Amino acid sequence: MKRVGILTSGGDCQGLNAAIRGVAKGLYEYYGKDVEIYGIQDGYRGLIRGEYKLMQRSDFSGILTLGGTILGTSRQPFKMMRQIEEDNVDKVRNMKDHYKKMKLDCLVVLGGNGTHKTANLLSEEGLNVVSMPKTIDNDVWGTDMTFGFTSAAEIATNVIDCIHTTATSHGRIFIVEVMGHKVGWLTLEAGIAGGADVILLPEIPYDADKIAKVIRRRNEYGSCFSILAVAEGAISKQEAAMGKKEFKAARANMQFPSISYRLAHELGDRLSQEIRVVVPGHFQRGGSPCPYDRVLSTRFGTAAAKLIINKNYGNMVALQKGEIVPVPLKDVAGKLKAVPVDCSKIQAARDIGISFGD
């Protein structure tokens, strides 16, 4: 009897259930009745606490189009995994013990960067682990695409599309804050697709004076409104010059709820137009996965099943140049896939006059 555990960890996104379905159906197709799948509740927290259940085939039916995750999820910071806190729980030991208690042949992990650090840790501790890359940020190293990204990009683009009509009607400046603390893939995608006039990314520090100049020039050319797509992790040139501790202190003492509101204040001091801020927030994580993500999640899921069947553990399934390939967890853990500032998408945006505030 083959025994496989599955957990989803970190922030939720579209396509998690489709990926769970893909790996489960792939295993059932190969092993038939000779496989047991255990659903671990709420990510690594469930593995630490021993909260899991034996899944039935029916549990994986009708979830292809369902958003969120049927297994639940939680954030368990990697830096705390080896620390014994007030509850006196040895997290790593507990995870290993519950893995053995379930008599698992493999643990399947769906998650982003932090999740993959812990997945690699468990692999190094001797557990058989296979993973799938999910995040709306598309910042997992080793894969061209993560599931959840395209669905979130469609939602963020729709927000910008809708903002265009009210911005035009009132001649206003609208700042649309898109998710992405450390990287700007989502903001770049939605900004270009939504026809934003300015796109601000964490990778390209901005100058408020230059943004104001762009807006003034648009007004001179007869465009009475401007749309700014701003990543929540966007930074100014002044902040980019700070040390890590100084930057953290500056952000901790920032008098605005987010960077977009601070930017609105900065532009308000430079321009006479009305400025509004729109923060779609967790809308970007919600709803059904788009067709692309349903297919990608299914491909990842079935590829994970094949890795298990072939006992090819210690790998993450990834999309590279259109093909699904295994990438060693040790090569993925701790690495971030940032937007290259000279990539073709940024160049295409610049070529049509989109400003990056630099």
CA distance 251 to 249: 5
In the annotation, is 42 catalytic? no
Q: In what order do the strands lie in the sheet with 52-54?
A: 52-54, 35-40, 2-8, 106-111, 129-133, 315-320, 323-328
Partners of residue 131 on adjacent β-strands: 109, 316
Q: Which residues of 130-161 are buried (b: 16+ CB within 10 A; e: fewer)?
A: bbbbbbbbbbbbbbebbbbbbbbbbbbbebbe
Packing angle, helices 113-124 and 91-101, rounded to 10: 70
DSSP 135-150: -TT--BTT-S--BTHH
Q: Rounded to 5 degrees, what angle do the CA atoms 93, 99, 102 make? A: 140
> Which one from 137, 139, 197, 293 is the annotated catalytic residue?
137
Are 143 and 327 spatial neighbours (Cβ–Cβ below 8 Å)? yes
- First and final C-alpha spacing in the chain: 59
Helical (H) or strand (E) element with 355? none
Spatial neighbors of 158 by CB under 8 A, at least 6 apart, are: none
CA distance 326 to 95: 24
**Active site residue ranges:** 137
